[in-house]
A = this chain, B = another copy of it.
Amino acid sequence: MIPRYSRPEMVAIWSPETKFRIWFEIEAHATTALANLGVVPKEAAEIVWKKGSEATFDVERIDAIEREVKHDVIAFLTHLSEIVGPEARFVHQGMTSSDVLDTCLNVQLVRATDILLADIDALLAALRRRAFEYKLTPTIGRSHGIHAEPVTFGLKLAQAYAEFERNRERLVAARREIATCAISGAVGTFANIDPSVETYVAEKLGLEVEPVSTQVIPRDRHAAYFSTLAVIASSIERLATEIRHLQRSEVYEAEEYFSEGQKGSSAMPHKRNPVLTENLTGLARVVRGYAVPALENVALWHERDISHSSVERVIGPDATVTLDFALARLANVIDKLVVYPANMQANLDKLGGLVHSQRVLLALTQKGVSREDAYRLVQRNAMPVWRGEGDFLTLLKNDKDVRAALSEAEIEENFDLGYHLKHVDTIFGRVFGSTEA
C-alpha cells in the first residue's frame, strides 16, 4: 500500500481511528449483551456507549501505552477506561483479545469487500456500455497472436464482462467467508462468556456467528478470501494485457486515453504508451503475491498462534487497497478507451482473405472431399498468401483440384464477413440477458 496506488475511502478502513472505533463497538455491544444477561449493570453499558461514542480515541496515547504493556488490546482498554471511568471494568468481561481483533478484522474486510464490489459494478457498467457500442465492429480474432477468424470488438468486451461477473460472484462468496464474528473467549469454549453475547454482537455488526472458534476465527476463511482477490487480479491482468496488445504500434486498434499535457517519454516526444494497463499488469502480480502468505497462515498451532497477525497487518490493507485502486483504474481505462475501428478493419484485411480458410475447408468436405485432402488443398493455397505471394481467393479459383469440387461462385460464398457475426446476438443474449443496450 503506497499512496500512489491508494484511494482514500479504502485506506480509511485500515486507519487506526477506524480500527479503534470498531473495537469500541464490539466491546460496547458485548457489554450491552452482558447487561441484558444481568452480568453487568445496565447503567454501566449505557455509560460505556455514551462516553465512548462521544470520545475521539487518541491513537498516540494508545500507542504509548502499548509500548509499555506490549499488548495492543490491553492498551486500548486502558485508554478506554481513561475515557469511560470506573464502569470500564465491566468492559471485555470474559472476552479475550482475539474476540475483538478477529471480529474487527472481519468487519474491516467486509467493508473493504463492499467497496470492491462497487468497483466491480463500475467496471461492469463500463464494459457493458462499450461492448454494446462496438457490438458489431469487426476485428480480427487472434489465437497464438496469429490472425484466426473475425470477431467483433464488442465480443471481446462481452467476454471481459462475463469474466468480471464471475469475479463478482466469487467476491460475494468470499465476503460470506469472512463475514463472521467470534466472541468465545480464550480457547473458544465460552467458559467466561455466554454464547448469546456472540450472537448479539454478530447481529449488530451484520455478521454470522462463527460456529466453532478456538480463540481465533479459522484462517482457511481468510486464505479463501485472499485467493479470490488473486483470481480477480489475474482477470485484471488479462484485460490489461489485451489493451496493451491492441495499443502496440503494429496493431494500434485501441489506445488508452492520453490527456492534454501528458508526456509519454522524457526522450521520445512521439510516444504514447499504454502505461495504465502496464501498471495494472504489475499491480495484478502484487495482489497475486499476497495469496501465498495467506495460504501459509492457515496452519496455526493448536488453538491459535499469532503468526498470522503480522501477515494480515500487511496484506489486509495492501491487498484490498491495491485491488481497489486497480479495479477503479481499469474501469476508467475501459470507460475512456479510444477505439480505432478503421485500424481494426485494416488489420482484418491484412492476410488477404486467409481468415476464411476454414470455411473453404468445410465447403470442400461438404462436397465429398476427405478432411485430409481438403486440409492439404487449403494449406497449399494458404501458404503463398502467408508469404505475401498472392491473394487467397484468386489462388483458390486457379487451383484445379479445388475447382473440381467447388465452382467460382461457391468459392466466393465463403468470403463473407457477415457469416462470422451471425451469432453475436446469441452471445450477447447469454452474457447480458439482452441483445440491446
Q: Quick check: is A22 within 8 A (CB to CB) of the other chain?
A: no
The reply to whether B231 and A230 form a contact with Cβ atoms under 8 Å apart is: no
Closest beta carbon of chain B to A247's beta carbon, Å? 6
A235: chain B residues at CB < 8 Å are 220, 298
- Report the separation of the CA atoms of residues A278 and B238 in the bound assembly, to the nearest whole angstrom: 16
Contact A289 B293 (CB under 8 A): yes
Partner of A189, one of B94, B149, B292, B301: B149
Contact B94 A362 (CB under 8 A): yes
From residue 236 to 280 of chain A, which have CB atoms closer than 8 A to chain B? 237-238, 240-242, 244-245, 247-251, 259, 261-275, 278-279
Question: Looking across the interface, which residue of chain B has its beta carbon closest to that of A298?
Answer: B234
Q: Which residues of B lie under 8 Å from residue A298 when comparing CB positions? A: 231, 234-235, 237-238
Docked pose: A386 CA to B269 CA in angstroms: 11
CB of B234 within 8 A of CB of A151, answer: no
A132-149 residues at the B interface, CB under 8 angstroms = 140-149
- Whether the pair A211, B269 counts as a contact (CB closer than 8 A) is no
With beta carbons under 8 angstroms apart, the residue of B4, B93, B266, B419 that contacts A96 is B266
Interface pair B241/A301, CB less than 8 Å apart? yes
Closest B residue by C-beta to A377: B269
Secondary structure at the A interface, as helix, strand, loop or mixed, is helix
Q: Determine if B270 and A379 form an interchain contact, defined as CB atoms under 8 angstroms apart.
A: yes
- Contact-residue size bin, chain A (C-beta under 8 Å from the other chain): 35 or more
Q: Report A71 CB to chain B, min CB distance, Å.
A: 5
Closest to A313 in B: B2
Q: Is A29 an interface residue (CB 8 A)?
A: no
User: Contact partner of A383 among B270, B313, B423, CB < 8 A?
Assistant: B270
Complex formed: what's the CA distance from A421 to B283 in Å? 35
Beta-carbon contact of B192 and A358 below 8 Å: yes
Stretch at the interface among A47-55, A103-111, A112-120, A166-174: A166-174
The reply to whether the CB of A32 lies closer than 8 angstroms to some CB of chain B is: no
Shortest A25–chain B CB gap in Å is 18
| B-side contacts of A177, CB under 8 Å | 166
> Chain B residues with Cβ under 8 A from A262's Cβ?
69-71
Residue from the set A70, A315, A354 with the largest chain B CB neighbour count within 10 Å:
A70
Complex: A359 Cα to B270 Cα, angstroms: 12
Known: A212-B431, A362-B93. A261 touches B68 (CB 8 A): yes
Give the top 6 A-B pairs by smallest Cβ distance, nearest first: A141-B187, A270-B382, A282-B310, A144-B273, A234-B298, A285-B293
A-B contact pairs, 25 of them (CB 8 A): A1-B314, A71-B262, A71-B264, A81-B372, A97-B266, A141-B214, A141-B215, A147-B249, A148-B215, A150-B189, A158-B212, A166-B221, A186-B268, A186-B358, A195-B423, A195-B426, A220-B238, A227-B231, A230-B295, A268-B357, A270-B354, A270-B357, A286-B311, A289-B293, A314-B318
10 more A-B contacts (CB under 8 A) besides A143-B305, A145-B247?
Answer: A89-B370, A141-B302, A143-B215, A191-B359, A191-B419, A234-B299, A235-B298, A244-B305, A269-B357, A279-B306
